Amino acid sequence: MKEEKKKNETWEWIKALLIAFGLAAIIRIFLFTPIVVDGISMMPTLEHGDKMIVNKIGYTLGKPERFDIVVFHAPEKKDYIKRVIGLPGDKVEYKDDVLYINDQPYEEAYLDQYKDEITEGTLTEDFTLEEKIGMQTVPDGHVFVMGDNRRKSKDSRHIGAVPIDEIIGSTKFIFWPISDFGKVD
């Protein structure tokens, strides 16, 4: 009797562990996944080594929004993390360190720290979308992305507009290091 009870208890533990591992796999594959920021292209917002949670279901239900921080599959078979600047149909231009979308200036408060530190030139060089991707507007089904560290970021200015279906998800939450724990904008 005792042996049978012990077998049942062992079987219950095995089932519980299998269910837990199965749920963890489903959550990681379909809902949320961790990512580690690799490089300095998103400084000062994100730093090399920051660990974040990527929301994979957000764009299944909706579309990227301007200034979302997204993770996507880049042409180099690597995942990049950048900020959405231009949406499909947008005309994007930079003049005198000011972002213009559809001829309207946009404030980018997340760049203020870097702009204040610049002693020479501008943070973001002047450009038009046509100069960078050969089109006047962001193509349908694509977004134009840029890193916050504009002088040291390989982004849509170099790799072109990013297909929305290459976006893994958005990220807004740092969970490590603990000193940076919390939401980012």
The residues pairing with 100 across neighbouring beta strands, listed in sequence order, are 93, 105
Identify residue 179 by its one-letter amino acid code.
S
The Cα–Cα gap between 98 and 154 comes to: 19
Residue among 56, 82, 156, 170 flagged as catalytic: 82
Please tell me whether residue 98 adopts helix, strand or coil conformation: strand
* Residues whose CB is less than 8 angstroms from the CB of residue 182 and which lie 6 or more positions away in sequence, other chains included: 173, 174
Please tell me whether residue 109 adopts helix, strand or coil conformation: helix
Residue among 2, 5, 15, 41 flagged as catalytic: 41
* 156: annotated active-site residue: no
Strand blocks (E) in the chain: 32-36, 51-55, 69-74, 78-86, 92-95, 98-101, 104-106, 127-128, 142-146, 162-163, 167-176, 182-183
Q: How far apart are the first and last CA of the chain?
A: 60
* 82: annotated active-site residue: yes
Active site residues: 41, 82
